[in-house]
Structure 1
C-alpha cells in the first residue's frame, strides 16, 4: 500500500489527485532534508481552530478583542467595530482583488493604530497570551522539534502579531528554534516603560503573505535559495500563494486545513491544496510526511513503505 493510501485511511484527509501528490512526495523524500523548507501560516494552521471541548480558539489579533474587554473596554469595542466593518470583505468573491487588498490594509492599519493608542505594555500582552485560549495543534511541538533536529528552515508567514507568536512558541518549546523565522507584524516597545509605540512595516495582511514582504538582508535568505522543495501549510485560500517569490522552487506539496464552512468551501480548497485536512486539530499528517525524508536514501515510496 502506498503512503498516499495510508494517509487516505484517515477520514479527515482528502486528496483530489493522489498520483500527482505521490509523485511530488517521492521527489521531496528522495531529495531529503537538505533540499527542503517549510512555509506555514500560524493562526488556525500551526494553532488550533477548536479546543478539546469544540469551542473556537482565538487568533493572535483576536486576543486584543477578547482579552481586553475588562481592562481596556474601549480598545475591545473599537476592534470589534473594525471587524464588523472589514471582516465581510476578506472572503467576498464579488469584489476585485485590488479592492479586497485596500480593505485589508485599512483593517490591519486601523487595528494596529487602536492597539498602539491603548498604550499596552509588554507585561499586559504576556498576561493576555497566558490566559487566552490559543493553543498549538497536537503534534505541532514534535513537528517543530523534528525541523530543528534536521536543520530544515521553517518560515512562518503570519498576518497576525509576531510577538504573540513568539510568546506561544516560547511557552510550548522553551525557546524559538534558530531554524524558525517569523515574518509577521511585530510590536515595538519603548525602552522607558515597555509600552507598545508602533508596529513594524510593511503591514502584513491576509493577501500579502509571501517572500515579497521579507525586508532587509535576512540571515536565512541564502539558505532558502538553495532549497528547491517546499511543504506549505495554510488554512486560507490566500495561503497557497506563500511560495510566491521562492526563485528556485522545484516541488511544493501544499497542505490545507479546512476548519469551517466545509461544504461551501470544499471544492475551492480541494482544487487549491494537494492535501486537505478537514476539521482536524492535529499536525499528525505533516509530521508523518516530514518523517519520510529520513528515508531519502530510497528511490521510491514503495521501498519506504516496505520498511
Structure 2
C-alpha cells in the first residue's frame, strides 16, 4: 500500500524552491540563439532580486555608439557620433581622410583581445586627441549639426522606442556614458524623439565660441577605456541616481563594464554586452565578463524583456 505524503510535510526549503519557480516571470528572449550566458541561473536570480526591489531601486547605465545605436544595417556599418561628423557640411575631404586613417589604425587596437585595457589606454588617448584636434581645426559650426545628423544614416537599435518609453514611464533614470561626441549624441536622440527628462549624458562636449564655431572640447577626455574615471567623478553628483542600488548596464566594449563604478552601495548589477564583430576572437572574453552576451543582435529585444520583468513587480503596481 502506497502512502502519499501530504505536501504540508514537504521540507520548507523544497516548498520555497517550488514557490520561487512558480512566481518567477519567464523571459523567453533569453533562449534566443544570439544569447550567450556563463551562468544562466545567476542571471535569473539577479533579475528577480531586482524585480522584487522594484523600479524605484533601478537605474540604467549605457554606452551609446554600437550599444543603443545599431552596429550595421543591410551589410553596412551604421555611423557613430564621430562618423556623423564626416559630412562636407562640417569637414573637408582631407580631414575626413585623416579621420578614416586614424580609425583604421586604432580601431583594431581597441578590439584586440590579446591586449589588456592598460596596454590599449595610451593608444585610445592618442586616437581621441588627434580626432578632436582635427575637428577643432575645421571650425565646425554648431548650427549645422542638426542637418548633418539628419543627412546621416544614424539608427538606434530596433525596439529603442519601447526601451526609452518604458524607462521614462517607470521614472527610471538612464545614464548614458559615451566616448563619442555629446552634442551629436543629443541631436540623434532629439531626432528619434527619445531625449526624455530622465536621460543624463556624460560625453565629450564641444565648446563653441560666441559665433557658434567649435574652438575646443570641454573638460576631461572620455574614451573607451577611462569610463571608470568619469563614472567616479560624475555619477555621484547626479541626485536622480541616489537611492537606486540596482543597475542594468549595457555596453559593447569590455571598457564599458567600469561605468557602474560610481554607484555607491550597489546591491545588484546585471550587465548586457553587445558583441558586434570579431565574434570568435572575442566571444570567450565577453562571456567571462558580461552576464548576458548578445551576438550580432541589432535589437533591444533582450534588454526590453529584462527591463519589462524588473519593472513589472507588484511593488510597481
TM-score relative to the length of structure 2:
0.85
* Cα deviation 1:197-224 (Å, max 9, x = unaligned): 1111100000012363565798x62331
Contact preservation (8 Å) 1:57, 1:134 = yes
Give per-residue Cα distances to partners, 1:111-163, cap 9 Å, x unaligned: 11110110111233222211111101111121111111111110000000111
2:80 corresponds to: 59
Structure 1 residue runs of 5 or longer lacking an equivalent are 299-307
Aligned to 1:305: none
Q: Distance in 1 between matches of 2:118 and 2:288?
A: 23
Q: What is the number of residues matched between the two proteins?
A: 293
Deviation for aligned residue 1:264: 1.7
CA contact (8 A) 1:50 1:281 kept: yes
In 1: Cα distance, 2:46 partner to 2:278 partner? 28
Question: Which residue of 2 is the match for residue 181 of structure 1?
Answer: 200
SS in 2 for 1:38: strand
Q: Which residue of 2 aligns with 1:190?
A: 209
After superposition, the Cα gap between the structure-2 partners of 1:284 and 1:195, relative to the gap in structure 1 and judged at 3 Å, is same
Aligned pairs for 1:1-307 (under 5 A) are 3=25, 6-51=28-73, 53-65=74-86, 67-68=87-88, 72-93=92-113, 95=115, 97-173=117-193, 176-192=195-211, 194-210=212-228, 212-213=230-231, 221-297=238-314
Deviates more, 1:178-187 or 1:203-212: 203-212
Higher gyration radius (CA): 2
Change (3 A) 1:225 1:102: same
Question: Which residues of structure 2 form unaligned runs of 5+?
Answer: 1-20
Cα 1:217–1:47 change in 2 (3 A) is closer
Structure 2 distance, partners of 1:139, 1:95, is 34
Separation in structure 2 between the aligned mates of residue 96 and residue 237 of structure 1, nearest angstrom: 10
Seen in structure 2, the aligned counterparts of structure 1 residues 223 and 126 have a Cα distance that, compared at 3 Å, is: closer
How far off its partner does 1:92 sit?
3.6
208-217 or 279-288: bigger deviation: 208-217
Deviation at 1:295, TM superposition (A): 2.8
Q: Is the 2:91–2:138 Cα contact (8 Å) retained in structure 1?
A: no
| Aligned counterparts of 2:264 and 2:29: Cα–Cα separation in 1 | 30
**Cα distance change of structure 1 residues 130 and 214 upon mapping to structure 2, 3 Å threshold:** farther
Checking the alignment, whether the CA contact within 8 Å between 1:41 and 1:239 is kept in structure 2 is yes
Deviations 1:81-121 (A, max 9, x none): 32233333323455554442122112111111110110111
Report SS of the residue matched to 1:48.
Answer: coil
Using the TM superposition, name which of 79-88 and 251-260 deviates more: 79-88
| Alpha-carbon distance change, 89 to 97 in structure 1, aligned in 2, over 3 angstroms | same
Normalising to structure 1: TM-score of the pair? 0.88
RMSD: 2.3
